[in-house]
Chains A and B, each alone.
Chain A
Amino acid sequence: MNSINNNYYDQPTKNDDYNVNNKFINNFDRLKLLIPYRVIDKLNYLDFRENNIKDFNTLETKNERLSIPKNLLRNFLGINGIDIDFKSGHVVLDITGKINASEGNLGLINSANIYNTLKNVNDTGLIEFNINAAIELANVLYCDVTKDIYVESPKQSIKALKLFLDKSSSKYKILKYKTGILIKTPANSTKDSICFYSKYDEIEKSKNERYIQIIGEGLEASKNILRVERHLGRFKSIKRAFGISSKDIPLMSVLGSNMPAIFNRLDEVGLKEEELTDEDSR
């Protein structure tokens, strides 16, 4: 496997999930990345073998696909999937913000902590790659842009949104999502949708004891968090949301974009100040 040793990025000294020096940065709860196989330094053969994939070398030479088994991934918080396609020469890495969770910190991914995020993936030992090269060469296949809003009662806020949007049922479709709602326009699939849910209720409901243990007092602090997420699963939607004009969707173009992806989507689904305060539209 090739090894690329260029140092494109400085390693941040500490995770910073939220705004850095008041500068706006987009936070992500989930990222699905397409990483060239050539940046991979090592695959942990033993872990694969333990999960009954007997002849790894044959797989590699036959240009087949390999997915790290879900039952193995369950042991690693924040990794949804690692799929290797030897034929196309890519690795699809599906990670969530939980990989950065720590005491008092629910964990999100952004431009300031991307190095540490990928380092956390490396530290699992499942797969090891050149982090700087991966950051430079990765493309985004899917992402959830996330904003945590502090409100008095997330449940009341969700009810209010439902009440308002229900009245415009022809314009929007409202689906139940986790401990909240998901809004999509009938024309769009859920691949460009926006959702609101109570973070505290979601953590409680998930019964993910390991995660709850890691975030510690973060659970109590999440009681007032209304999580807003925009799910982007189409290339066209991702490019539009982050103002990307290139053919590919480089990871840093997404993480470094200063486009207000969530606010713009709120506007598109009719959640805008003018519409709410205009008596005729209610």
Chain B
Amino acid sequence: MKTVDSLLKMEGRQAMLERFGNDLDKIRHYIRIECRLAPNKDLSRIMKEFKILITLKNKSKKQYPEFIILILEIINKVKEAEMEIK
């Protein structure tokens, strides 16, 4: 059985966005089915990453070169690990 991380790594986040036309609900559904997740499994962290990618994709590539995207990913992951006190 695939883990969410292995699925994302295998298929690629960008490729999944293109495949599902940036539809986050479809992506969420697809991940749940592929990884056989319980309905209450929290996917908010993963979906937040997709949201950021969509936001970044909407900007021009010139404005957001690859290295900025990589740094934003780091900041976002630190932020989500430290700021989200549940």
Residues of A within 8 A of B (CB): 19, 22-24, 147, 149-152, 156-157, 159-161, 163-164, 196, 224, 226, 228, 258, 260-263, 266, 271-273, 276-277, 279, 282
Contact indicator B78/A149 (Cβ below 8 Å): yes
Q: Which of B20-28, B29-37, B64-72 contacts A (4 or more CB under 8 A)?
A: B64-72
Take A149-B77, A149-B78 as given contacts and tell me if A161 and B85 are in contact as well, using a CB distance cutoff of 8 Å: no
Q: Which of A24, A150, A160, A272 contacts B84 (CB 8 A)?
A: A24
Give the A-B pair count, Cβ closer than 8 A: 81
Contact indicator B82/A226 (Cβ below 8 Å): no
The chain A residue with its CB closest to the CB of B77 is A149
Contact indicator B70/A24 (Cβ below 8 Å): no
Within 8 A of A (CB), among B1-21: 5, 9
The chain B residue with its CB closest to the CB of A159 is B67
Chain B residues with CB under 8 Å of A266's CB are 75, 78
Closest CB in chain A relative to B42 CB, distance in Å: 8
Q: Residue B61 at the A interface, CB < 8 A?
A: no
Contact indicator B70/A160 (Cβ below 8 Å): yes
The chain A residue with its CB closest to the CB of B56 is A277
Count of residues in B whose CB is under 8 Å from the partner chain = 25
Contact indicator B85/A23 (Cβ below 8 Å): yes
Q: Residue B81 at the A interface, CB < 8 A?
A: yes
Count chain A CB atoms within 10 A of each CB in B64, B73, B78 and give the residue with the most: B78
Q: Residue B43 at the A interface, CB < 8 A?
A: no
Q: Complex: how many Å from CA A281 to CA B50? A: 25
Residues of B within 8 A of A (CB): 5, 9, 42, 59, 63-64, 66-68, 70-79, 81-86
Contact indicator A273/B72 (Cβ below 8 Å): yes
Contact indicator A147/B71 (Cβ below 8 Å): no
Contact indicator B70/A260 (Cβ below 8 Å): no
Q: Which of B5, B74, B83, B86 contacts A260 (CB 8 A)?
A: B83
Contact indicator A156/B64 (Cβ below 8 Å): no
Q: Complex: how many Å from CA A258 to CA B84? A: 10
Q: Complex: how many Å from CA A282 to CA B65? A: 11
Contact indicator B5/A149 (Cβ below 8 Å): no
Chain A residues with CB under 8 Å of B86's CB are 22-24
Q: Which of B63, B66, B67, B73 contacts A151 (CB 8 A)?
A: B73
Take A258-B85, A279-B63 as given contacts and tell me if A160 and B78 are in contact as well, using a CB distance cutoff of 8 Å: no
Chain A residues with CB under 8 Å of B77's CB are 149-151
Q: Complex: how many Å from CA A282 to CA B69? A: 13
Chain A residues with CB under 8 Å of B85's CB are 23-24, 258
Q: Which of B63, B64, B72, B82 contacts A263 (CB 8 A)?
A: B82
